[in-house]
A and B are shown apart, each in its own frame.
Chain A
Amino acid sequence: MPAATRPPARVVAPALALLLGACLEYSPHAIPLDAVHTDVHRKSLERLLATPAPETLRFAVVGDTQGDFDEVEEIVVVLNRIEDLAFVVQVGDFTGHGTGPEFRLMHDLLRKLRVPYFVVIGNHDLLANGGDIYDHMFGPRNLAFTYARTRFVLFDSNAVEYGFHGTVPDLGLLREYLSPRDEYDDAILFGHVDPGANEWDDALREPYFDLVRDEGVDVSFYGHGHHPREFERDGARFYIVGAVDHRTFVLATVRPGGGVEVERRTF
C-alpha cells in the first residue's frame, strides 16, 4: 500500500486491539466490565424517575428467560408495541447457569426495550459467580423505589442458594422499604422464588404472609414456577408470572385512585 494511503499506526493499533478485545473471551465467569453491561438498575431508575409519572401507570412483568433467547427477542417486539408502558420487570432466572456470556447476551436483547427494565435475581443467576456478575451488572439484590404514588420493591428470595439461614428474604429490610406510607397508595413486590415454593425459607413463610397483610401489599409477582398461576391470601394476590417459553407475560395497570389490575397476555 503506498505510504499516502496507509492508515497511521496510531489508528491501526488501537483498532486492532478493540477488534481483538471484542472477540476474546477469557472465562465463562469473567464479569462483563464495559459500561453497557454495568449498573443497569441505576440507569433504569434514572430514566424512569426523569419521566413524568402518568395518571394511569402500566408496567409489564416477564418470567424466567433462561436460555430462551428467541422468545425474549419476540417478547421485546410485543412489549414495544404496548401503549403507555412505563417499565418492565423480569422476575429472575435471567440466566440458566449464572455465566458472563448468558448475562451479557440476555441484556443485549432486553436493552432493545423502549422503556427501562429491572431484573430480580433468581436461583439460577446465583450459580457459579453469577451473584457477583448480577451485583456488577444490575446492582444491589434488594431495591425499592416510588413512582406514580406506587411503591415498588424487588427482593432476593432465593433462600435455597443461601442455605436457608433465615435472612433471605430480608423481612426487616422489606418492612423498612414499605415504611414511607405517605409516599404511596399501592405497594407491589417482586421476588423470584414465590412463598409457596420449597426453595422459600420455611421459617419465613408465615412471617412473610403476615408482612404482606400488615403492610397492605396488594399484589406481588414471582418467577421460578414455569407455569403461570396465582393464589390469594388475606385479600392479597400472588402471581407466578410463568416462563417466557410458555409464551406468556403479565401486564399490570395501577388505577389513579388506587388498585392494581393484572392481565395475563400471550404472544
Chain B
Amino acid sequence: MRGPRGALGCLVAVAVVLGTAPARAAAEPDTRWYVPDQTKLQLAGWMGFLSPGAGYSWLDRRLEADLFFGWVPPPLGGEHIFSVTGKLTWLPLRFGAGKEVTVHPLTLSTQITYTFGSEYWVFEPEKYPTPNYYPLPTALRAALAVGGDVGRPLLGLERVSLYYELVTLDLLLGYWIGNGESLGITDVFSLALGLRLEH
C-alpha cells in the first residue's frame, strides 16, 4: 500500500469534504440527489480506527446505507491497514419523536469490509491445487451488530446523534456457535462508538 502520508492526506480530505457537506448545503434546501443523507465517524467496529463514512437513508430514516473508509495506524494494528466498508443499518424503533431528544433503543446492522493489500484476495489465486481450496475470500469480512443511539437537532443539522454498537465478526460468530464451552460473549462481541450527522 502507498505511504502513510498519502493515506493520511486522503483521510483528512475525505473527512473535510464529508464533514463540511451539511454546512455547505445549509444555505439552500438539500434537494441535490448526491448530497448524503448522513455522515458518520465511527471508532472501531472492525472497520478501522476512526472511520469516516457517508450514505443515504430510506423509509423515514429507518434504513441507512453507508460507505466508510478505514485506516488502522501501526501503533494500533502493527502495520498500516486500509479498508472500505459497506454498511446497512436498520433502525426500526424511534422514541421521543416530536420532542428535542430522540432515541433509537435498538438498531441492527450488517457490514462487509474489503481490506486493501496484495496479501488479501477476493478471487482465489491460481496457485492452489484445487478450486475453492479455501472456503472464504481473505479480503472480505462481514460483521453484524446491535446497537442504539441518542440524538437531537444541533447546529442547524436535522439531528446529531451518538451511537454505540456491539459488533461481532462473521468468523467469530460462527466459532461461537460451534464452541459454546470455550468462547464467551466477550470473546466474540466488541464495542464500536460513533457520531452521526443527519442532514
Give the B-binding residues of A (Cβ under 8 A). Answer: 20, 23-33, 67-70, 72-73, 96-99, 101-102, 105, 109, 124, 127-129, 131-133, 136, 160-161, 163-164, 198-199
Chain B 46-63: CB-based contact to A (< 8 A → 1; otherwise 0): 111100000000000000
With known contacts A23-B190, A101-B171, A128-B119, A33–B44 Cβ distance under 8 A? no
B78 to chain A: closest residue by CB:
A31
B77 sits at the interface (CB 8 A): yes
Q: Which of B75-125 contact A (CB under 8 A)?
A: 75-79, 81, 83, 113, 115, 117, 119-120
Instruction: Tell me how many residues of B have a C-beta within 8 Å of chain A.
Output: 45
3 interchain residue pairs of minimum CB distance = A31-B78, A30-B77, A24-B44
- Chain A residue numbers with a CB within 8 Å of B117 are 129
B83 to chain A: closest residue by CB:
A27
- Chain B residue numbers with a CB within 8 Å of A109 are 182
Tell whether, in the assembled complex, residue A26 and residue B169 are in contact, meaning their CB atoms are under 8 Å apart: no
- Chain A residue numbers with a CB within 8 Å of B45 are 25
Chain B 170-182: CB-based contact to A (< 8 A → 1; otherwise 0): 0110110011111
B183 sits at the interface (CB 8 A): yes
A29 to chain B: closest residue by CB:
B81
| Bound form: Cα–Cα A170–B72 in Å | 34
B30 sits at the interface (CB 8 A): no
With known contacts A26-B49, A27-B77, A70-B181, A128–B138 Cβ distance under 8 A? yes
| Bound form: Cα–Cα A136–B179 in Å | 26
| Bound form: Cα–Cα A30–B139 in Å | 13
With known contacts A30-B81, A129-B117, A23–B182 Cβ distance under 8 A? no
Give the A-binding residues of B (Cβ under 8 A). Answer: 43-49, 70, 72, 75-79, 81, 83, 113, 115, 117, 119-120, 127-129, 134, 136, 138-139, 141, 167, 169, 171-172, 174-175, 178-183, 187, 190-192
Tell whether, in the assembled complex, residue A128 and residue B120 are in contact, meaning their CB atoms are under 8 Å apart: yes
- Chain B residue numbers with a CB within 8 Å of A101 are 169, 171-172
Tell whether, in the assembled complex, residue A25 and residue B190 are in contact, meaning their CB atoms are under 8 Å apart: yes
Tell whether, in the assembled complex, residue B179 and residue A25 are in contact, meaning their CB atoms are under 8 Å apart: no
Tell whether, in the assembled complex, residue B191 and residue A199 are in contact, meaning their CB atoms are under 8 Å apart: no
Query: Residue among B117, B136, B182, B183 with the most chain A CB within 10 A?
Result: B182
Tell whether, in the assembled complex, residue A30 and residue B78 are in contact, meaning their CB atoms are under 8 Å apart: yes
A68 to chain B: closest residue by CB:
B179
| Bound form: Cα–Cα A94–B134 in Å | 15
| Bound form: Cα–Cα A80–B28 in Å | 71
Tell whether, in the assembled complex, residue B167 and residue A25 are in contact, meaning their CB atoms are under 8 Å apart: yes
With known contacts A26-B44, A29-B81, A70-B181, A198–B129 Cβ distance under 8 A? yes
